Amino acid sequence: MSERFHIGGLAKRTGRSVHTIRWYETQGLIPRVERDGGGRRVYEPDHVEHLIFLDRMRRTGMSVAEMRRLTSLGLAGWRTLPERQALLLALRARVEERIHELQAARTLIDEKVGYYDQWARQKKRPPPLPAVPTAARARAAP
Amino acid sequence: MSERFHIGGLAKRTGRSVHTIRWYETQGLIPRVERDGGGRRVYEPDHVEHLIFLDRMRRTGMSVAEMRRLTSLGLAGWRTLPERQALLLALRARVEERIHELQAARTLIDEKVGYYDQWARQKKRPPPLPAVPTAARARAAP
DNA sequence: CCTTGACCTTGAGTGCGCTCAAGGATGTTC
DNA sequence: GAACATCCTTGAGCGCACTCAAGGTCAAGG
């Protein structure tokens, strides 16, 4: 059970389109793709892992350029482990920041919805909200 | 102190470029922009509020189309308050989902970094990580 | 006056990440 | 042996959200 498959199989296994997979390859995001007798691309389970991982990173804010870097570092073996870690940790910092930003936005949305509630009940526009969410103000000037 | 200003002033106050502000206007994101004798746009503090709010929503995943909808609903008065709330609550749900996704990604990054650590210490590649972060697996199959 | 700087309009260009079209080859199934 | 799915390459096109270039108008300061 060597478990090798063509591009359609990879597409099915990873949820990406065959177009996207070929495009990823031109972008240097998929290493070591072999061909069969007829010139078709042949993949194995490692490729599935790699693509799923890249996809999760991409949806998390990693650019194609960074995915390319990560992929090529992967090809270069264990000596590049520190750089791969650094790349991931930089992404982690961005993720952390983004989570905070989204949490602040959620607070702002809640305040705006509450403001609209008040407006609807009073049938008159209440005094404007401050532009910055309550929590941020509390943190900034306690 | 009527506090009115031209487009440069609005740009300074909101951190957007004058290009972007004019483009936003063509997209229907800035209502009721008056002109002075010379044809210049004249803004007031309400516009600053509006733009800052839109900007926070945009960075949170709201599209230009949704911002346009919100803006035009705002022009139509209190009768549209329920629809404005619905729009914001839909965005809130997306934000919530995105936060969870980012938190899962953070876990995955941590696992990958830990995996690289192990690899570096052993100088030999450990058995592969599962593609799904630990926390998600724990939730899915307890 | 005349220069300087902020403003105007129209329309084109950019960067990212795909997505698809055209035209053709291969391989499996009946 | 013919139909059909799947694959191939090259190159163009798209959607989003800007961003800028060209060529001008207008108003305040020196």
Residue of least CA–C1' distance to D20: B19
Name the closest residue on chain A to residue B103, using Cα atoms: A99
Note the CA–C1' distance, A109 to C1, in angstroms: 56
pLDDT of residue B132: 57
pLDDT of residue A132: 57
pLDDT of residue B35: 96
- Distance from C-alpha of A97 to C-alpha of A91, rounded to nearest angstrom: 10
Please check whether strand C approaches the CB of A20 to within 7 Å: yes
Q: Is it the case that residue B139 has pLDDT exceeding 60? A: no
pLDDT of residue A51: 96
Of the pLDDT bands very low, low, confident and very high (cuts 50, 70, 90), residue B142 is very low
Prediction pTM value: 0.89
Q: Is it the case that residue A74 has pLDDT exceeding 50? A: yes
Of the pLDDT bands very low, low, confident and very high (cuts 50, 70, 90), residue B2 is low
Of the pLDDT bands very low, low, confident and very high (cuts 50, 70, 90), residue A52 is very high
Tokens 């952390």 sit on residue: A96
Residues in contact with A13: Cβ distance below 8 Å, sequence separation at least 6, in sequence order: A5, A48
User: Closest to A116 (Cβ–Cβ): which among B59, B81, B96?
Assistant: B81
Name the closest residue on chain B to residue A124, using Cα atoms: B78
Q: Is it the case that residue B134 has pLDDT exceeding 60? A: no
- Distance from C-alpha of B117 to C-alpha of B110, rounded to nearest angstrom: 11
B113–A52 CB contact, under 8 Å: no
Q: Which amino acid is at B41?
A: R
Burial of B16 per CB tally in 10 Å (0-12, 13-18, 19+): middle
- Distance from C-alpha of B119 to C-alpha of B127, rounded to nearest angstrom: 10
Phi, psi of B3 (to 5 degrees): 55, 60
- Distance from C-alpha of A34 to C-alpha of A48, rounded to nearest angstrom: 14
Of the pLDDT bands very low, low, confident and very high (cuts 50, 70, 90), residue B127 is confident
- Distance from C-alpha of B16 to C-alpha of B25, rounded to nearest angstrom: 13
Closest Cα partner for A113 from B90, B14, B68, B49? Answer: B90
pLDDT of residue B14: 94
Closest Cα partner for A103 from B131, B140, B95? Answer: B95
Mean pLDDT, range A77-97, rounded to an integer: 97
Mean pLDDT, range B1-14, rounded to an integer: 89
A105–B56 CB contact, under 8 Å: yes
- Distance from C-alpha of A6 to C-alpha of B90, rounded to nearest angstrom: 40
Residue A94 CA, distance from chain mean position? 11
In angstroms, the separation between the Cα of residue B82 and the nearest Cα of chain A is: 8
The answer to whether B59 and B93 are in contact (CB under 8 A) is: no
A102–B101 CB contact, under 8 Å: no
Per-residue model confidence as pLDDT tens digits over B23-78: 999 999 999 999 999 999 999 999 999 999 999 999 999 999 999 999 999 999 99
Q: Is it the case that residue A139 has pLDDT exceeding 50? A: no
Say which range, A1-10, A104-113, A122-131, B118-127, has the weakest mean pLDDT: A122-131
pLDDT of residue A138: 46
Indicate the DSSP class of residue A130: P
pLDDT of residue B72: 96
Of the pLDDT bands very low, low, confident and very high (cuts 50, 70, 90), residue A142 is very low
3-state secondary structure chain B: CCCCECHHHHHHHHCCCHHHHHHHHHCCCCCCCEECCCCCEEECHHHHHHHHHHHHHHCCCCCHHHHHHHHHHHHCCHHHHHHHHHHHHHHHHHHHHHHHHHHHHHHHHHHHHHHHHHHHHHCCCCCCCCCCCHHHHHHHCC
Closest Cα partner for A88 from B135, B62, B141, B129? Answer: B129
User: Closest to A81 (Cβ–Cβ): which among B60, B119, B131?
Assistant: B119
| pLDDT over 90, % of chain A | 85
pLDDT of residue B109: 97
Instruction: Match domain B1-76 to its CATH number in 3.40.50.1820, 1.10.1660.10, 2.30.110.10, 1.10.150.120.
Output: 1.10.1660.10
The answer to whether B102 and A95 are in contact (CB under 8 A) is: yes
Mean pLDDT, range A76-86, rounded to an integer: 96
pLDDT of residue B138: 46
Mean pLDDT of chain A: 91
Indicate the DSSP class of residue A48: H
A110–B99 CB contact, under 8 Å: no
Residue-level length of chain A: 142
pLDDT of residue B131: 58
Q: Is it the case that residue B1 has pLDDT exceeding 60? A: no
